[in-house]
Structure 1
Amino acid sequence: MILDNFLWTGSAWTSAGLGLGLVLLAYIAASTIKSWHRLRHIPGPPGAGFSKWWMLRNTLGGNMHLATKAACREYGPLVRLGPNQLVTNDPEVLRRLWAVRSPYKKGPFYEAVRFNPERDNLISMRNDALHNELRAKMAPGYGGKDNESLEAAMDKEILVFCDLLERKYISTETDYRPVDLARKVQYLTLDVITALAFSKRFGYTEQDTDLYSYIKITEDSMPVMMFLSIFPGLAKVLQSRLFRRLLPSEHDHVGFGRFIAVAKQIVGDRLASDQPHRRDMLGSFLAHGLTREEAEGETLLQIIAGSDTTATALRTTMLYLMSSPHSYRKLADEVRGASAQNCISLPVVTDAEARTLPYLQAVIKEGLRINPPVAGTMDVVVPEGGDVICGYTVPAGTEVGCSEFGAQSLSTIFGPDADVFRPERWIEAEKEDNKDGGERIKQMNNTWNLIFKYGKWQCLGKEVALIELNKVFVELLRRYDFTLVNPSKPWHSINAGIFIQSDLFVKITRVEAAKEKS
């Protein structure tokens, strides 16, 4: 009798468990079908409407930027990438979504870039009112208005960088010294941004080393960040008190945690000094009302956003120049000709002088266009009431991202050879418009400017970055010639929203005219 009861009870539990399992499966199936159904009319890769597998596979493969570009070419200007995720390469749509008065808000992805679990930074902040308030306080510092020595600080770091090349990496007829230009350029941009931010560079270039293993640990952590970009809800779990100890901490001796400690120390020292509002970015932030905690967070943001993206622009453009002999020679001749005629200053060109060099400006624009430094989809959320995008009805709550590589390679805007690095397109378009009164160059510039986003989310550091690019390209090509060591495999590059690039080995030789002047 007891055995019979036991067997019956076990059978009942098994039946109950099976029933619950079936109910759960039915619920999941119903939810999946419902999710697919709401965006079923929008084209996309097979199966993308049922799961995030397509997004995850391409993100972890480091080629999401190319996958979205290809998807837009295959399926049209609005593509479904996931159950609730769309992407567009339409510049007009992106300007409307990002406009100052747009009702669209930042998507959940942005919470994954919150450095302090308890406080947002300018990028992670999703509340428009708070974002606008913080942005207004920071704009004068980024714009250079409160930093009279901005160019002088850059000049100093560029000369330190050239000194590093002279000391260790110049090849001669008898001495071959290949160098990973990707890594060295990042040393330069890290020192430039820290010098601008708080008048104290970290010394990456001077010491020629990855201080605090920041670059290595950042690169090693990329798979986690890439995973969180697809499943941002997990970021909240990691930022919870239970798992917070797994995140970088100011008590770490290496990596991003070390930068947290340095940022806190620098802000603390500045507030305790008799000149907290000195003429640099940090001084400007504090003068315009940033609290200690806000200043610490924004200092960290500057280091990442200001160094990695500019480094990508420098090394990508240098790679394309070295791979395009005609463009390389044309830019080198322009720079060296201007130097020989004393049209540009020594020891470092001014920003105003660099802007008078037309081919240099075309090269900078083309380098940023062909490989935008920030290539995450950066989703925004469709507001209440829904919207019509590219002719499709899109319900409220849908996340809409940007295919930056797709937008910057539109043949309707940049010509049939839009996939080719060809700086001449900018000069040709301007000449054509001057001749026939057209607006092609305006359309190209408007689309190109989306690299820095637009409207309420436009990059505050845009002008600072362009000044740095102007100076670095001139000084490198005034002094040196660069040759790829391995053209068949020039570097290693993966996209994780921002780019992780390494092993860009080059041979550097002195330019004869530069030798004579030195």
Structure 2
Amino acid sequence: MGTIALIYEARWLIASTLLAVWVALKVKQYYRLRHFKGPFGAGWFEIWHGLAYLSENSHMWFKEATDKYGPIARIGPNELITTSIELLTHINGARNKYTRTRWWYIIGRFQPNRDNIFSEMDENVHTKRRAQMAGGYSGKENHELESSVDMHVLELIELIRTKYCSTEAKACPFDLAKKAQYFALDVISHIGFGEPFGDLRQDQDVNRYLEDLENGTKASSYILGLGLSVFVLGTPLMHLLGRSDKAKTGFGAMTGNTRKIITKRLEDDPDMSKGRDMLSSWFRHGLNKEQLVTESIFQLIAGAETTATSIRSIMLYILTHPRVYARLQAEVDAVVKDGSAKPYPSVVSIATQRQLTYLWACCKEGMRMHPPVTNSSQKQVPPEGDTVMVEGKTIYLPGGTNVGYCVWGLNRDQKIFGADADYYRPERWLTEEDPKKLAQMNQVHEMLFGYGKYQCLGKPIALMEIGKMIFELMRNFDWCLANPEEPWREKCASGIFMTHDFLVEATERSVC
């Protein structure tokens, strides 16, 4: 009792000492990055940073910060956000010592104490895992890659043609946002598991993967916004957040369903010798059953929603710009007429779509105006700190600082894209005469898929899907917005867009 009484008597002294220590630490933390300006209070507390994620509009918060405070803005006591292409290229370079920031990347963990290629913090393990998985994303080990994509392009075209075509007698609006999701999920499940989930065939979210994805992503944005990612993910609390295999919704339900598919595959073909898909390739390159589960979940999330968002945004900007619409459709019709694209029901080949300069200008510009993913992908400055050049100025970054990528701001940067950077103009990709500036523009586009040692392995597949889908949608139908006053409803959770009610009307064209 004597000790307790002594502590009680000294309670105000103890409290004052603890407060003084806390204030001293806060002051020290503030002064480390005092040269970087940012929103009020961001240098002292995480409140602004957290509210950005909770707002479900973080990409715009970050853009407004860099617009106001420059190419490097302070958004938290230890967080910076940047639109500097020089700095981002440097950070993601293959030989640099920057590492992933744990509090951000751990959000990609779907099982307690088990990382995937996104959430893995050990750089050596990450590099090895990329090498093991690369073959599964290529046509060399996934022989039916292009034909699988073509199959689902045709399924979507036929779904629209048989169920959703508008005529002079009847308008039949439908949600292209949802159909793009069905398409992207069928493609990634087909090339991943050897057979599609069948969303397009049944015209519904068959296994509730898309519902689970949205629920899980929303939950992740709250975990990030409240600063709980490190404290929760990787602990038993994950089960309370719906990340258990037994959960009925969210990432846990996705994990449970995926585990069943992989278990069945291994029972039927223990050495995966019969398969020619991602699973069989990954298994042959050393991934065990649990690693197959975690990597499959991640590729479903990374491959489906981002591709669907790209298709939506490209179509939205094409539909709202008649000049662009007419020129693109003319290019499509020209290659059909001259035989470069085989008549329907053949789907345009990769070789042909690569030659369509205006098609790709439209795609790049649509993804620039509305990037498919906007997570900040924070990297940590090496312990010894780093000195970098940004817009001709030498800047020192203290060791341990977290530096994030302002995706929306970089893609609207007037220094790179010109005074009309806020407007959709595909021709900028075709008429730019300065080779250095064009190379810089293309580098910004590359960064939408990650960069350097962190570049997305699924990039070639995503671009194949996007190019084929936009071509065939324009070849087979005439389009208009069903609700031009509000084309869609959209929120951004953890850098991924949740889009609903993108209502459009499609009218049959005579197919050449």
Tell me, yes or no, whether TM beats 0.5. yes
Q: Is the 8 A contact 2:51 2:225 kept in 1?
A: no
**Structure 1: distance between partners of 2:97 and 2:226:** 24
**Structure 2: distance between partners of 1:259 and 1:160:** 24
* TM-score, length basis structure 1: 0.92
**Structure 2: distance between partners of 1:149 and 1:276:** 16
**Structure 2: distance between partners of 1:230 and 1:254:** 21
Structure 1 position 276 matched with structure 2 position 277: no
Match of residue 5 from structure 1? none
What is the aligned counterpart of 1:191 among 172, 186, 190?
186
Change in 2 beyond 3 A, CA 1:450/1:11: same
Match of residue 421 from structure 1? 424
Change in 2 beyond 3 A, CA 1:324/1:353: same
Change in 2 beyond 3 A, CA 1:489/1:20: farther
Code of the aligned partner of 1:125: E
Report the Cα offset of residue 255 of structure 1. Answer: 4.2
What is the aligned counterpart of 1:338 among 327, 335, 340?
335
Report the Cα offset of residue 261 of structure 1. Answer: 2.2
Report the Cα offset of residue 341 of structure 1. Answer: 2.7
Q: Is the 8 A contact 2:37 2:73 kept in 1?
A: yes
**Structure 1: distance between partners of 2:258 and 2:224:** 25
Taking the TM superposition and a 5 Å limit, the aligned residue runs for 1:44-443 are: 44-108=38-102, 109-242=104-237, 244-274=239-269, 276-277=272-273, 278-345=275-342, 346-347=344-345, 348-389=347-388, 390=390, 391-429=394-432, 432=433, 438-443=435-440
**Structure 2: distance between partners of 1:236 and 1:55:** 17
**Structure 2 unpaired stretches of 5+:** none
Match of residue 7 from structure 1? none
Give aligned pairs, total. Answer: 500
Question: CA offsets per residue over residues 106-137 of structure 1, 9 Å max, x none?
Answer: 00210121011121100000111000000001
Change in 2 beyond 3 A, CA 1:495/1:254: closer
**Structure 1: distance between partners of 2:115 and 2:69:** 36
Code of the aligned partner of 1:67: W
Bigger shift: 262-271 or 466-475?
262-271
Question: CA offsets per residue over residues 158-205 of structure 1, 9 Å max, x none?
Answer: 111112212321111112211111111101100010011111111111
Code of the aligned partner of 1:506: V
Question: CA offsets per residue over residues 407-438 of structure 1, 9 Å max, x none?
Answer: 22222222221111111001102xx35xxxx4
Report the Cα offset of residue 14 of structure 1. Answer: 7.2
**Structure 2: distance between partners of 1:329 and 1:14:** 80
Bigger shift: 208-217 or 321-330?
208-217
**Structure 2: distance between partners of 1:331 and 1:403:** 30
Code of the aligned partner of 1:283: S
**Structure 1 unpaired stretches of 5+:** 1-9
Q: Is the 8 A contact 1:184 1:205 kept in 2?
A: yes
Which secondary structure does the structure 2 equivalent of 1:65 belong to? helix
* TM-score, length basis structure 2: 0.93
**Structure 2: distance between partners of 1:238 and 1:118:** 8
**Structure 2: distance between partners of 1:243 and 1:459:** 26
Code of the aligned partner of 2:403: V
Q: Is the 8 A contact 1:238 1:246 kept in 2?
A: no
| Bigger Rg, structure 1 or 2 | 1
For the aligned residues, what is the CA RMSD?
2.1
**Structure 2: distance between partners of 1:178 and 1:499:** 22
Change in 2 beyond 3 A, CA 1:34/1:481: same
Report the Cα offset of residue 238 of structure 1. Answer: 4.5
Which secondary structure does the structure 2 equivalent of 1:212 belong to? coil
**Structure 1: distance between partners of 2:9 and 2:206:** 61
**Structure 1: distance between partners of 2:369 and 2:453:** 24
What is the aligned counterpart of 2:34 among 34, 40, 44?
40
Taking the TM superposition and a 5 Å limit, the aligned residue runs for 1:15-34 are: 16-34=10-28
Report the Cα offset of residue 233 of structure 1. Answer: 4.5
